[in-house]
Structures are given as C-alpha cells and as structure tokens.
Structure 1
Amino acid sequence: MRILQALPALYSGGVERGTVEFASDLVKRGHESFVVSKGGPMAEQLRGQGSTHIFMPIHRKSPTSFGQILPMRRLLLELKPDVIHVRSRMPAWIIHLALRSMAPHQRPAVVSTFHGMYSVNPYSAIMTRADHLIAVSRCVREYVLDNYPVPEHKLTVIQRGVDINAFRQRELSPQWLQRWFRQYPQLAGKKVIMMPGRISRWKGQMDFLAMMAKLVRHRPDCHGIIVGGTEPGKERFLEQLERERSRLELTDKVSFLGQRNDMTTLYLLADVVCHMSTKPEPFGRTVTEALASGTPVAGYNRGGAAETLQACFQAGLVTPDDTTAFAETVLRLLDSGKSAIEIPHRFHLEAQTESTLKIYEQVLERRQLQQ
C-alpha cells in the first residue's frame, strides 16, 4: 500500500515518535511510506529509514492554514495514496477540504487516530469524519463514544506500540556512565527516581516533588531526576517548581535535566520511573518504555497509563493524587529491585502495525464494494 501520514510537525513527543516508528515498520514490510508535516528534527530520521517527508505548513490552528488546501489537493492528486492517516485536527481539516474538491473515485481512504481526549467542539469533530477511527486506549474510546455520534463498529482501540527490543537489549556503557557522573556527581551511589515528561502543570511535577520530600525521609540515598524540556510559555511554571524544590529542602535531592536524547539509557539507569499526571492521560508511552527496559514504574491509577500498568505491572498502581501512598509504593519497588517484566503483545510495535494495516485493508475493501 501507499500510505500518507499527516501531523503538524516532527519535533518531539509521543505522537511524533510513534509516527516515525510506524513509518519505519511500514517500509520494512514493503509498503510505501509518506509523511506530510511542517518538519522538524525527526524528519531526517524519517528519511533515513526509507520514508518520504513532504514539507507543508499544516500545523497552525489558524485560518491562514486553509491556504494549504489547494497545495494539499495537488499533492494528493500527484501522490495517489491508498490511505491517508490523519493524526491531528488541523491537518485533518486541510485534508478533508482538499478531498471535497476531488472526484469520489480519486479520493483515498481516510483513517484518523484520536491520540488524546480533545475538547468537544466542531473543530475536534473533524477527527470523526474519517472512514475509520482509532483510539490509543480504552479511556479514549469511551471519551469519543460519550461525546460524538460515532458508531461503535467504526472505532477500534489500538494501543501505541513500542519497539521492545530497542529498550530491552541494551546495557549501560562504561563510557556513558563516566560522562554521566562527571555531569551529575550528586547522583553517585544514589537510587535514581525518574520523572519523565515535558514541563507542564498537568504532567505532575509538583506531585513528584511532594512525593520525593516524603520518600527521602525514609531513604536519604534516593535522588530524583525530572527529565523533560520546557515548552515556550511554560518557563514560569519551571520557576515555580524550582521554588517549591527549595521550599521542600530538596535542592540537593532533585535535579532538573531538561530535554534529553538518551532516554533509552536513562530508563536503564533509573531504579524507579514515576508517572503522576494530574488528569487522565490518553496513553502513557513512558510507562511502556520503562517497563520494556525492566525498570519498575509507579503510576496513578487513571487514564491510559493505568491501562498499561494494569496489563503489565499491577504492583505499580497508586491511588490518584495520594503522594504518601506513592512514596510507599516507590519504597516497596526499590526493595523489590529490577526484574524481567512481561509486556503483552498488543503493546509491541509490530502488533500496532499489524492491527493498523488490518484497518487499512478493511476500509479499502468497504470502499471498493461501495464503488
């Protein structure tokens, strides 16, 4: 098949990484893979893996983006994809309007993925106009069915898959460790408690600091690391976090590492990984990645992240918003140590690819019958 994925840009984040990994898997299976976006650092990785990236500024949530409707129409007529997979709302609008001006027999099938629980309004409803919808977790599926008139048969749950071997078949290199301890000497001999995720209030960094204050009273050998970049406009929240760290007397117990490109290694280094989002997250990718590395995860029992823990590591589930119970769970996981953690097949990248390809084939078959 000839498959075109559409998303705003290729910087960092779960949707972007998932798109690039899925594109790579498509190429390995002999399909033609195209991605249209504004571009970004991950576009080079995409091209290196055999996909074609097409630059188009379809990222702005602004009326100016509708200037891309005619260029998109020309692209679709030239490319003739079998399936377009839309992964975000503005690209979905541009593609929908471009397709309306094309003859029915020229239009490819359209599949959309709800990567999040989008605000309920006509702008978000465009994601329901596809031939078939994918939800990244059961909680997202329920959200869509509760808020939009979508027939259940038109919506399928496909968990975000992770390349398990990329995390499992690795060891910490002595050279990396040497550089690490030169950069962060305060972590020598410490139990590392990691909180991955961009700096954002709902990601739960405030809860992490409160939890760490309780944890270090029992285990002074623990050191927390908050790993994630600060998005434009979130600098003030980072300053609040730094003030709270100081107030809780955690300055020498918690370090902010910023954005890192060695997450697979950090998962191996960490003794426990924490997921503390203050609202239901559609899918906790960091949970699956950490567990694939053999590192235990503690997480609030809510949203898509909890679905992963329920399937893979129930020992890590914590009552939402209870930082005392969270600290107790981290203590218990530290005492248990690391061990091989079984990841069900549906969380593997190949399972995601196979399930998605099956959706593509079913949609194309239905369209052929209708023509």
Structure 2
Amino acid sequence: MRILQALPALYSGGVERGTVEFAADLVKRGHESFVVSKGGPMAEQLRGQGSKHIFMPIHRKSPASFGQILPMRKLLLELKPDIIHVRSRMPAWIIFLALKSIPRHERPAVVSTFHGMYSVTPYSAIMTRADHIIAVSQCVRDYVMNNYPVPEEKLTVIQRGVDVDAFHQRELPQQWLDRWFRQYPQLAGKKIIMMPGRISRWKGQLDFLAMMAKLVKARPDCHGIIVGGAEPGKEHFLDELEKERSRLGLTENVSFLGQRNDMTNLYLLSDVVCHMSTKPEPFGRTVTEALASGTPVVAYNRGGAAETLQACFRDGLVTPDNVEEFAQAVLRMLDTEPPAIEIPYRFRLEAQTEASLKVYEMVLKSAASRS
C-alpha cells in the first residue's frame, strides 16, 4: 500500500515519535510510506528509515492554513495514496477540504487517529469524518463514543506500540555512563527517581516535587530528575517549578535535565519512573517505554496510563492526586524486588502496525465494494 500520514510537525512529542516509528515499520513490511508536515528535527530520521517527507505548513490553527488546500489537492493527485492517515485536526481539515474537489472515485480512503480527548467542538468533529477512526486507548474510545454520533463499528482501539527491543537492553554503555557522571556528579551512588514529560502544569511536575519532599525524608539517597523541555510560552512554569524546588529545600535533591535524546539509557538508569498527570492522559507513552526497559513505574490510577499499568504492572497504581500514597509506593519499589513486568503483545510496535494495516485493508475493501 501507499500510505500518507499527516500531522502538524515532527518535533519530539509522542505523536511525532509514534508516527516516525510506525512509518519505519511500514517500510520494513514493503509498503510505501509518506509523511506530510511542517517538518522538524525528526524529519531526517524519517527519511533515513526509508520514508519520504513532504514539507507543507499545515500546523497553524488559523485561517491562514486554508491556503494549503490547493497545494494539498495537487499533492494528493500526484501521490495517489491508497490511505491517508490524519493524526491531528488542522491537517484533517485541510485534507478533507482538498478531497472535496477530487472526483469521489479518485479519492483515497481516510483513517483518523484520536491521539487525545480533544475539546468537543465542530473543529474537533472533523476527525470523525474519516472512513474509520482509531482511538489510542479505551478511555479515548469512550470519550469519542460519549461525545460524537459515531457508530461502534467505525471505531477501533489500537494502543500505541513500543519497539520493545529498542528499550530492553540490560547494559548501559560505559562511555555514556562516564559522560553522564561527569555532567551530573551529584547523582553518583543515588537512587534515581525520574519524571519524564514536557514541562506543562497538567503533566504533574508540582506533584512530583511535593512527592520528592516526602521521599527524601525517608530516603536521603534519592535524587529526582525531571526530564523534558519547556514548550514556547511555558517558560514561566519552569521558573515556578524552580522556585517551588527551592521552597521545598530540594535544590540538592532534584535536577532539571531539559529535553534529552538519550531516553533509552535514562529509563535503564532510573530506579523508578513516575507518571503524575493531573488529568486523564490519552495513553502515556513513557509508561510503556519505562516498563519495556524493565524499570518499575508508579502512576496515578487514571486515563490511558492506568490502562497500561493495569495490563503490565498493577503494583504501580496509586490513588489519583494522593502524593503521600505515591511516595509510599516509590519507597516500596526501592525496598523490595518488584514482580516481573509483562508487556502484552498489543502494546508492541509490531502489534500496532498489524492492527493498523487490518484497518487500512478493511476500509479499502469497503470502498471497493461501494464503487
């Protein structure tokens, strides 16, 4: 099949990383893979893995983006994809408006993925106009079904897959370790408690600081690392976090590492990974990645992250927003040998690819029968 994925840009978020990994798996299986976006640092990786990237500024949530309708129409007529997979709302609008002027029998099938619980508006409803809809978790599926008139048979849950082999390496590279401890000598001999995720209030970094304040009283050998960059416009929240760290007396116990490109090593280095989003997260990719590395995860029992833990590592679930219980769970992970972590097949990248290809084949078969 010839498959075109559409998303705003290719930076470092979960949707972007998932798109690039999925595209690489498509190429391995002999399909033609194309991605249209504004571009970004991951475009080079995408091209290096055998996909073609098409630059188009389809990222802005503004009327100016509708200037891309005619260029998109031209691209679709030239490319003639079998499937367009839309992963965001503005690209979906541009694509559906471009398709309106293409004869019905020449239009490709369209699949959309709800990567989040979008605000319920006509703008978001564009994602339901696809031939088939994919939800990244059961909670996202329920959200879509509760808010839009979507037939059950039009919606499939496909968890975001992780390339388990890429994370499940037991030996950390010595060269990386030497460089790490030169850069962060204060972490030598410490128990590392990691909080991954971009700097954003709802990601729960304030809860993490409150939890670390309780944890270091019981285990002074613990050191927290907050890994993730501040998005443009969110720098003020990073300042707030640094002030809160100082207020709690955690300057020597918590480090901000910013955006990193060595997450596979950081998961292995960490003793516990924390997920503390203050509202239900659609999926929680860092949970699956950490568990694939063999590192225990503690998370609030809400949203897609909880679905992953319920399937892979139930011991890590705690009552939402209960920082005291969270600290106790982390202590328990440090003091006892955690049970074996099992990653069910549906959370693996190959399972995601196979399930997505089945959806593609289904919509193509349905389109052929209608014509």
Q: TM-score range by the shorter chain?
A: over 0.9
The equivalent of 2:226 in structure 1 is 226
* Partner in structure 2 of residue 258 of structure 1: 258
Displacement, 1:339? 6.3
Within-5 A mapping of 1:288-367: 288-337=288-337, 340-367=340-367
Structure 2: which amino acid aligns with 1:242? E
Q: Distance in 2 between matches of 1:367 and 1:246?
A: 60
Separation in structure 2 between the aligned mates of residue 58 and residue 27 of structure 1, nearest angstrom: 24
For 1:173 and 1:126, how far apart are their aligned partners in 2?
46
Residue 214 (structure 2) aligns with: 214
Give the structure 2 partner of residue 9 of structure 1. Answer: 9
Shift of residue 337, structure 1, vs aligned partner: 3.9
Query: Shift of residue 169 of structure 1?
Result: 2.7
C-alpha distance in structure 1 between counterparts of 2:305 and 2:220, whole Å: 28
Post-superposition CA distance 1:207-250 (Å, at most 9, x none): 00000000011000000000000111111111111111011100
Instruction: Name the structure 2 match of 1:105.
Output: 105
Structure 1 residue aligned with 2:280 = 280
Three-state SS of the structure 2 residue aligned to 1:298 is: strand
Instruction: State the SS of the aligned residue for 1:280.
Output: coil
Paired residue for 2:23? 23
Question: For 1:35, what is the secondary structure of its paired residue?
Answer: strand
For the pair 1:202 / 2:202, whether they are aligned, the reply is yes
> How far does the alpha carbon of each residue in 1:281-336 deviate from its partner, in whole angstroms, 9 at most, with x for none?
00010000000000000000000000000000000001000000000000001112
Secondary structure at the counterpart of residue 257 of structure 1: strand
Unmatched 5+ stretches in structure 2: none
- The CA deviation string for residues 82-134 of structure 1, in whole angstroms up to 9 with x for no partner, is 00000000000000000000000110000000000000000000000000000
Q: Once the 2 structures are TM-superposed, how far is the Cα of residue 340 of structure 1 from its aligned partner?
A: 4.6
**3-state SS of 1:166 partner:** helix
**Code of the aligned partner of 1:226:** I
> 1:52 and 2:52 equivalent?
yes
CA deviations over 1:164-192 (Å, ceiling 9, x no partner): 00000342111111111111111010000
Counterpart of 1:144 in structure 2 is 144
Please, what TM-score do these two structures have when normalized by structure 1?
0.99
Identity over the aligned pairs, expressed in percent?
Answer: 82
- Aligned equivalents of 2:237 and 2:315: distance in 1? 31
Q: Secondary structure of the equivalent of 2:166? A: helix
Query: Displacement of 1:341 after TM fit?
Result: 1.7
Cα deviation 1:46-83 (Å, max 9, x = unaligned): 00000000000000000000000000000000000000
AA matched with 2:159: Q
Q: Distance in 2 between matches of 1:256 and 1:27?
A: 37
Q: What letter is aligned with 1:142?
A: D
Distance 1:236 1:28 in 2: 43
Q: What is the deviation of 1:364?
A: 0.4
**Deviation, structure 1 residue 342:** 1.2
d(CA) in 2 for partners of 1:78, 1:336: 59
| Cα RMSD for the two superposed structures | 0.7
Which of structure 1's runs of 4+ aligned residues deviate more than 2 A? Answer: 336-340
- Taking the aligned partners of 2:223 and 2:169, their CA distance within structure 1 comes to 26
- What residue in structure 2 maps to residue 42 of structure 1? 42
Q: What amino acid does structure 1 have at the position aligned with 2:311?
A: A
Q: Give me the TM-score of the superposition, normalised by structure 2.
A: 0.99
Q: Is the 8 A contact 1:295 1:338 kept in 2?
A: no
**Counterpart position of 1:242:** 242
Question: Match for 1:262: what amino acid?
Answer: D
